[in-house]
Chains A and B, each alone.
Chain A
Amino acid sequence: GESVGLHLPTLSVQEGDNSIINCAYSNSASDYFIWYKQESGKGPQFIIDIRSNMDKRQGQRVTVLLNKTVKHLSLQIAATQPGDSAVYFCAENSGGYQKVTFGIGTKLQVIP
Chain B
Amino acid sequence: GAGVSQSPSNKVTEKGKDVELRCDPISGHTALYWYRQSLGQGLEFLIYFQGNSAPDKSGLPSDRFSAERTGGSVSTLTIQRTQQEDSAVYLCASSFLGGAKEKLFFGSGTQLSVL
- Interface majority SS on A: helix, strand, loop or mixed? loop
Total A-B residue pairs with C-beta atoms closer than 8 Å? 65
Of the four ranges (under 10, 10 to 19, 20 to 34, 35 or more), the interface on chain B belongs to 20 to 34
The stretch from A60-68, A69-77, A102-110 touching chain B is A102-110
B residues in contact with A56, CB < 8 Å: none
Q: Bound complex: CA of A91 vs CA of B35, how far in Å?
A: 13
Query: Counting CB contacts under 8 A, is B53 at the interface?
Result: yes
B43 in contact with A97 (CB, 8 Å): no
A46 in contact with B42 (CB, 8 Å): no
A47-66: which residues lie under 8 A (CB-CB) from chain B? 49, 51
Chain A nearest Cβ from B99, distance in angstroms: 5
Q: Which of B42, B101, B106 contacts A95 (CB 8 A)?
A: B101
A96 in contact with B99 (CB, 8 Å): yes
A100 in contact with B100 (CB, 8 Å): no
A43 in contact with B106 (CB, 8 Å): yes
Query: Counting CB contacts under 8 A, is B19 at the interface?
Result: no
- Interface majority SS on B: helix, strand, loop or mixed? loop
Q: Bound complex: CA of A103 vs CA of B91, how far in Å?
A: 15
B residues in contact with A91, CB < 8 Å: 104
User: B68-100, CB under 8 A of A: which get 1 and which 0?
Assistant: 000000000000000000000001010100111
- Chain B residue nearest to A94 (CB atoms) is B99
Known: A41-B108, A43-B109. A99 touches B99 (CB 8 A): yes
B93 in contact with A102 (CB, 8 Å): no
Q: Measuring CB to CB, which residues of chain B are less than 8 angstroms from any residue of chain A?
A: 4, 31, 33, 35, 41-43, 45, 48, 50, 53, 56, 58, 91, 93, 95, 98-101, 103-109
Q: Measuring CB to CB, which residues of chain A are less than 8 angstroms from any residue of chain B?
A: 1, 31-32, 34, 36, 41-46, 49, 51, 89, 91, 93, 95-105
